[in-house]
Structure 1
Amino acid sequence: MTGHETTPITRLANVRPWGGGAVDLDVDGTTIAAVHPHGQAPRHEGVVVDGQGLCALPGLVNAHAHVDKSWWGLPWQSYGGEGGTDGRIQHERARRGELGIPSTGITGAVLHEMVRHGTTAIRTHVDVDLGIGLAGIEAVQEAAAAYGGALDVQIVAFPQDGVLRRPGVDRLLRDAVEAGAVHVGGLDPASIDRDPVGQVDLILGLAADTGVGVDIHLHDPAELGVFQIELVLERVERLGLQGRVVIAHGFAVAQLPPTRRAELLQRMGEQGVGMTSVAPLRLPQLPMHELADAGVRLGLGTDGIRDLWSPYGDGDTLAIARQYARASSLVRDEDLLAAVRLASTDGAWAVGRDVHDLVEGARADVVLVDAEHAMDALVRLPERRMVIAGGRIVATA
């Protein structure tokens, strides 16, 4: 796979962070070195890019993706197979070989769509199973490497076909960590493996042994889902995994009565267990303010894009933020701004960043849009005029 053309810059002039006053951003390598009021920066001899007064947002952070398993770029694939989580898994396993999934080329096409929509950092789940081994991890690593380090792609080794019900997957997950996965995942311990204690113990025990994080898909509803979250919380406390565990989807949290939810979120906040959401349209949304009040970090992601689970998806993380805002009935400026921040600054914890903003010392990840401010960008989803990742121009309109 050939590399992507990227252009390093040393100053991004005349941009309006979050829609505020115009500034000039000096870039040193991959980092924002200084922020000056526009026109007041010292004389500069490097590569200067004129931002033309456009609104600047921090690079978008996709906190939950599956970049290894799309059919993007292939002929249209009609939805088939059975519904439900296990039905979709079996359909995907039956057809992925004929579609050449996983592959570096398809993964590269998916990354391209994400990047041109402004995403500069991604936490992606990558299937690891007895059928394909670590081929998905290798494809994602190669596709990401084509950006020369500009694009930040972090891998969750994802045993979607089960852990305990497929003997040998536990060893494969350890191999995935050695191959570069920085998190290990799991899926519906009760519904898929039908042994919630066994799967949770195995996954979190592996994280404790190897030093990686944990990111578990949990679709099970209401009290069944909460039971599994509570199992996770007990193991986090016992194994000292505070701040290293994420519950993806976690539909159960949004389905609980308020008092019960408050108690659960308080425990999650105390143990540093975060959550990610893809803003599902037909289900209640994770309550942004309640999570924040309890200290539970939240990130947004695109989930799968044009895959054998669903034909939908275009790689636009900002569109997911808008979907989340609309489905949550967010209309006030401060809440619309908070939704944009979830897809950027406040979601950057998912890729291990303490600071992700248009400030000195942050990584030089910038998205330019023709918008009045962040709220306008959220509701209109304007074209991304320029995307800068790690101080390099990686996409232009």
Structure 2
Amino acid sequence: MLHTSFPRISAVRNARLDDLAGTHDLQLDAAGTIVDILPAAGGTVAAGELDARGHLVLPGLVNAHAHVDKSWIGHPWQSYGGDGGTDGRIRHERARRDELGIPGLDITRRVLAAFVASGTTAIRTHVDVDLGLGLRGIDIVREAVAEYDGAITAEIVAFPQDGVLRRPGVIELLRQAAEQGVEHIGGLDPASIDRDPVGQLDALFAIAADTGAGIDIHLHDPAELGAFQFDLILDRTESLGLVGRVNIAHGFAIAQVDTARRRDLLQRMADLDVTMTTVAPLRLPQLPLHEMDAAGVRFAFGTDGIRDLWSPYGTGDLLGIAWQYARSSSVVRDDDLRRVVEIATAGAAPFAGIGAAGIAPGARADLMIVDAENAMDVLVRTPARSAVLGGGRLLFEA
């Protein structure tokens, strides 16, 4: 059951934690922060407390690459009728979005509800910005997120889905969005979409340098074409001093170039704290877990669009994306399975602007409760969530 009033919880009682034996009580303050973790006291669960009933409590999921503004959830089945490839999907979406009311407040509400019910408590979402929509989608997403009254955390990327330079006026919209406070501006395949990688990146980085916004760029271009654009992004990150403010989404090329080339790119990314997000696509090589960690390159998972005019797939369950990544990467050892869960939860908190995260005193109480043996069991079985808390507020309970 999804809650709409989001009652405050003062304690989560009788919880099992992945790194402690026995059951424990998590004490929360009025600001939704964990203030203490104590051995379970037993006895009656008081009003305002939540009984975990001995279930496992993990940090909430972080969906670091979403598109909450565009989905046909709530509509009858929508058959895909467009051409293949990125441009074909863009054209199909542009042709049909108005008739489905995309973007729309109810649509975004449904997407957020799907996220929350599966344990997501923090989001970085791309929101389309183009000449037809202006910044309307950003306003809609902000309104939908505000209805959670701080119980979920969200950052917005102003996203030029239809290209940047090839659509005169889009750069001005991105600058306007940044000046109005979006956390990041986006880009899309500078080489294959705009066919001017230097021009697109120069324009985006100028906005970021002027306004303080971050950059989160979709880069699907493969192999050396993609790696070349990695170089361009890294060069500008370094020259403009945007350390820690740039993310590359998808970035298929990093797993497609040879080992030496990848090692050099990853080292530069680590030095500049350029991060990555992945939706763990099938039929493509996954981001190399051990190489990413060894280099010190942070990455996170995202659901991408769900049930939209690009694809009918997607449920909004970020844990399913983590499963897909682990399974496709042949992750089987306990420490690696736990690492994937960490990447899906507290490890990705900075992607949504959250500082202290996890299950520890001082951390925001973003929690999901699951009937499972341990974190590895949660990942490989993806069981239903029993309850979800965001900032100490009860968002969902089964």
What is the aligned partner in structure 1 of residue 375 from structure 2?
A: 374
2:14–2:42 contact (8 Å) kept in structure 1: no
What is the aligned partner in structure 2 of residue 321 from structure 1?
A: 322
CA RMSD in angstroms, aligned pairs only: 1.6
Report the Cα distance in structure 2 between the residues aligned to 1:238 and 1:132, rounded to whole angstroms.
33
Which digits, 9 at most, give the CA deviation of each residue in 1:143-175, with x for residues without a partner? Answer: 111111101111000011111111111111122
Report the Cα distance in structure 2 between the residues aligned to 1:180 and 1:148, rounded to whole angstroms.
19
Q: What amino acid does structure 1 have at the position aligned with 2:158?
A: A
2:45–2:51 contact (8 Å) kept in structure 1: no
Structure 1 residue 292: Cα displacement: 1.1
Matched, 1:356 2:378: no
Which digits, 9 at most, give the CA deviation of each residue in 1:84-122, with x for residues without a partner? Answer: 111111110111011100000001000000000000000
Matched, 1:10 2:26: no
1:201-240 matches, within 5 Å, as 201-240=202-241
What is the aligned partner in structure 2 of residue 246 from structure 1?
A: 247
Q: Percent of counterpart pairs with the same letter? A: 60
Report the Cα distance in structure 2 between the residues aligned to 1:118 and 1:186, rounded to whole angstroms.
29
Which digits, 9 at most, give the CA deviation of each residue in 1:64-101, with x for residues without a partner? Answer: 00010100110100011111111111110111011100
Instruction: Decide which moves more: 12-21 or 78-87.
Output: 12-21
Report the Cα distance in structure 2 between the residues aligned to 1:293 and 1:53, rounded to whole angstroms.
36
Structure 1 residue 353: Cα displacement: 2.6
Structure 1 residue 46: Cα displacement: 6.8
| Secondary structure, counterpart of 1:120 in structure 2 | strand
1:215–1:247 contact (8 Å) kept in structure 2: yes
Gap regions ≥5 residues in structure 2: none
Q: What amino acid does structure 1 have at the position aligned with 2:9?
A: I
Instruction: Decide which moves more: 10-19 or 329-338.
Output: 10-19
Structure 1 residue 18: Cα displacement: 2.4
What is the aligned partner in structure 2 of residue 175 from structure 1?
A: 176
What is the aligned partner in structure 1 of residue 111 from structure 2?
A: 110
Matched, 1:76 2:77: yes
| Secondary structure, counterpart of 2:162 in structure 1 | coil
What is the aligned partner in structure 1 of residue 37 from structure 2?
A: 35
Which digits, 9 at most, give the CA deviation of each residue in 1:206-225, with x for residues without a partner? Answer: 11110111100000000000
Structure 1 residue 40: Cα displacement: 8.6
What is the aligned partner in structure 2 of residue 296 from structure 1?
A: 297
TM-score, normalised on structure 2?
0.96
TM-score, normalised on structure 1?
0.97
Which digits, 9 at most, give the CA deviation of each residue in 1:247-298, with x for residues without a partner? Answer: 0000000001111111110011111100000000110000011111111101
1:155–1:182 contact (8 Å) kept in structure 2: yes
Which digits, 9 at most, give the CA deviation of each residue in 1:165-213, with x for residues without a partner? Answer: 1111111112212333100000000011111001111111111110111
Deviation beyond 6 Å, 4+ runs, structure 1? 43-46
1:58–1:358 contact (8 Å) kept in structure 2: yes
How many correspondences in the alignment? Answer: 394
1:29-178 matches, within 5 Å, as 29-39=31-41, 47-178=48-179
1:19–1:56 contact (8 Å) kept in structure 2: no
| Secondary structure, counterpart of 2:361 in structure 1 | coil
